[in-house]
């Protein structure tokens, strides 16, 4: 018995030496950001120059896709939110990175990833949905949304499956790089991220894990102006009461909106950006804590709240705010039912590739986020890195003042899905 235990431990230690890594980086920037991508060249050879993307038909977003995507977004937000801190994630970024990875999974590993990402939607169909959804998202100068994907793998001992590479080329437009995973690779990955986030995120990885064999990277950049930029006299000093009761002097931005939200537990408003996106704000009722309210939201309730927005005048006020947020997501994803992909012995990513010295499994999922909301719009950046290892009614006029902790999201107007979702507990440092 003792010998079997030792052997088991030896196997686990061996398999833990080999991993792949997935990095999904999302950047939300609303407000007119002008950052340079100079000095962000990538030296590694792009293998996709030899793999042409096949034409695919895609599948237009319908209720099944919208419901499952909203459900994923809200569950991920709930599991990754720190009750005491400002939080922000990009469900879209995480969805894309994990979907690319799921194309390399088999058996129960694939089944768990499918269940989390798409509910009853199989991976093949989810690829089609995501292809069409990303393609349909508007991107203009005043409301830019850029999505980019890349795959990086070690050139020694690891062989990627061509079917895996082809599928990610077809549906996700992924670039694929083969590299030595040395200091040059580290620079290349960070340069790629910097370039595809317009310089907003300068670095996603501090050091390459010496055991990493693959990195899958997604970036989502959103940079937009408000449809109606705040005038100077619409910004005045006010007070924001933080979660711990601290009173903060805040620059409050006042506007007249026309979409009022009320789900019975919170009130709020929708404020449009230019060209197809909107900011959704939800302020919990005074007798409901932010944590209790966040825990009560479902994908369906979030979608229904937006669908049932009342077209009435709304006196809206919200503070300028800026913060960053980072979290390791593996625990959250395991809690949501995706445990096998993290198991060094049982994970099955054999459709992704082969590493001669051990099994491939997910070890970590890192997410970094940044947001700034001001008179011109919202600027925010989020990064997710996942390692795969070997207020009251005023006589007909509604008023919503975000002067205490609230939940918010940036949604696309066509589907109402959150590209970013977060919670503000404090506007101070």
Q: What is the CATH number of the domain that holds 276?
A: 2.30.39.10
Q: Name residue 385's beta-bridge partners.
A: 23, 366
Residues 257 and 359 in one domain: no
H helix intervals, 81-217: 91-102, 107-118, 123-136, 162-172, 183-196
Q: Is residue 187 part of a domain?
A: yes
Pairing state between β 397-401 and 19-28: unpaired
Q: Is 75 helix (H, G, I), strand (E, B) or coil?
A: helix
Q: Measure the CA–CA gap between 283 and 227, rounded to whole angstroms.
A: 22
Which strand (E) or helix (H) includes residue 47?
A: none
| 42 pLDDT above the threshold of 90 | no
Q: What is the number of domains present in the chain?
A: 2
What pLDDT, on a 0 to 100 scale, did the predictor assign at position 392? 32
Q: Which of 370, 325, 302 is nearest to 27 (CA)?
A: 370
What pLDDT, on a 0 to 100 scale, did the predictor assign at position 387? 45
What pLDDT, on a 0 to 100 scale, did the predictor assign at position 38? 39
CA 332, 336, 337, 341 torsion-angle sign: negative
Q: Is residue 295 part of a domain?
A: yes
Residues 362 and 408 in one domain: no
Q: Is residue 18 part of a domain?
A: yes
Residues 193 and 331 in one domain: yes
Q: Is residue 192 part of a domain?
A: yes
- Give the model confidence (pLDDT) of 232-257 as tens digits: 899 999 999 999 999 999 999 999 99
Q: Measure the CA–CA gap between 101 and 99, rounded to whole angstroms.
A: 5
pLDDT-derived band at 328, boundaries 50, 70, 90: confident
pLDDT-derived band at 356, boundaries 50, 70, 90: confident
Q: Print the domain residue range for 209.
A: 2-225+323-388
What pLDDT, on a 0 to 100 scale, did the predictor assign at position 350? 94
- Give the model confidence (pLDDT) of 298-314 as tens digits: 999 999 999 999 999 99
Q: Is 356 helix (H, G, I), strand (E, B) or coil?
A: coil
Q: Phi/psi at 373 (nearest 5 deg)?
A: -120, 125
How far is the first Cα of the chain from the last one, in angstroms, to the nearest whole number?
Answer: 55
| DSSP conformation class of 429 | -
pTM for this prediction: 0.86
What pLDDT, on a 0 to 100 scale, did the predictor assign at position 344? 87
Q: Is residue 406 part of a domain?
A: yes
Residues 12 and 121 in one domain: yes
Residues 303 and 327 in one domain: no
Q: Measure the CA–CA gap between 400 and 254, rounded to whole angstroms.
A: 10
What pLDDT, on a 0 to 100 scale, did the predictor assign at position 144? 80
| 79 pLDDT above the threshold of 90 | yes
What pLDDT, on a 0 to 100 scale, did the predictor assign at position 377? 60
| Section 20-41 average pLDDT | 42
Q: Is residue 154 part of a domain?
A: yes
Q: Which of residues 18 and 286 earns the better pLDDT score?
A: 286
Residues 309 and 413 in one domain: yes
Residues 269 and 296 in one domain: yes
What pLDDT, on a 0 to 100 scale, did the predictor assign at position 386? 43
Residues 54 and 181 in one domain: yes
Q: How many residues does the chain have?
A: 429
What pLDDT, on a 0 to 100 scale, did the predictor assign at position 40? 60
Q: Under a CB-based contact definition with an 8 Å cutoff, are residues 378 and 424 in contact?
A: no
- Give the model confidence (pLDDT) of 359-369 as tens digits: 888 877 767 66
Q: Is 163 helix (H, G, I), strand (E, B) or coil?
A: helix
Comparing 12-26, 193-207, 262-276, 325-339, which segment has the lowest mean pLDDT? 12-26
Residues 12 and 94 in one domain: yes
Residues 118 and 260 in one domain: no
Place of tokens 């966040």: 294
Residues 143 and 193 in one domain: yes
Residues 236 and 261 in one domain: yes
Q: Is residue 152 part of a domain?
A: yes
Q: Which residues contact 289 (CB under 8 A, 6 or more apart)?
A: none
| Section 342-356 average pLDDT | 90
Could you tell me the CATH number of the domain that includes residue 98?
3.30.497.10
Q: Is residue 429 part of a domain?
A: no
């Amino acid at each position: 018995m003792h010998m079997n235990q030792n052997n088991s431990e030896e196997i686990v230690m061996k398999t833990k030496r080999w991993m792949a890594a997935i990095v999904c980086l999302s950047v939300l920037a609303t407000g007119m950001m002008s950052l340079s991508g100079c000095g962000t060249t990538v030296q590694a050879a792009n293998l996709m120059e030899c793999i042409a993307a096949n034409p695919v038909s895609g599948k237009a977003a319908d209720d099944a896709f919208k419901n499952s995507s909203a459900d994923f977004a809200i569950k991920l937000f709930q599991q990754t939110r720190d009750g005491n801190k400002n939080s922000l994630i990009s469900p879209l970024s995480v969805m894309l990175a994990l979907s690319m990875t799921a194309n390399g999974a088999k058996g129960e590993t694939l089944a768990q990833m499918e269940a989390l990402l798409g509910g009853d939607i199989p991976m093949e169909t989810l690829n089609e949905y995501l292809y069409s959804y990303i393609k349909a998202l508007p991107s203009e100068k005043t409301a830019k949304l850029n999505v980019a994907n890349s795959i990086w793998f070690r050139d020694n001992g690891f062989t990627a499956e061509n079917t895996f590479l082809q599928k990610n080329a077809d549906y996700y437009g992924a670039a694929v790089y083969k590299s030595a995973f040395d200091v040059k690779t580290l620079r290349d990955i960070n340069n790629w991220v910097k370039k595809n986030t317009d310089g907003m995120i300068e670095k996603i990885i501090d050091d390459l894990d010496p055991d990493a064999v693959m990195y899958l990277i997604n970036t989502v950049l959103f940079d937009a102006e408000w449809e109606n930029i705040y005038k100077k006299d619409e910004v005045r000093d006010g007070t924001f009461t933080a979660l711990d009761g601290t009173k903060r002097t805040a620059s409050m931005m006042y506007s007249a909106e026309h979409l009022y939200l009320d789900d019975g537990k919170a009130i709020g408003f929708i404020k449009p950006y230019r060209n197809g996106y909107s900011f959704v704000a939800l302020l919990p009722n005074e007798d409901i804590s932010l944590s209790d309210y966040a825990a009560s939201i479902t994908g369906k309730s979030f979608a229904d709240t937006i669908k049932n927005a009342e077209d009435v005048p709304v006196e809206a006020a919200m503070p300028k705010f800026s913060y960053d947020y980072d979290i390791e997501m593996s625990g959250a994803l395991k809690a949501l039912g995706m445990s096998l992909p993290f198991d060094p012995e049982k994970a099955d990513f054999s459709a992704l590739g082969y590493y001669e010295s051990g099994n491939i499994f997910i070890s970590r999922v890192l997410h970094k986020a940044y947001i700034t909301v001001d008179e011109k719009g919202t600027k925010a950046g989020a990064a997710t890195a996942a390692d795969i290892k070997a207020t009251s009614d005023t006589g007909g006029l509604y008023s919503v003042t975000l002067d205490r902790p609230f939940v918010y999201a940036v949604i696309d107007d066509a589907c109402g899905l959150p590209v970013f979702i977060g919670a503000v507990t404090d506007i101070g440092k």
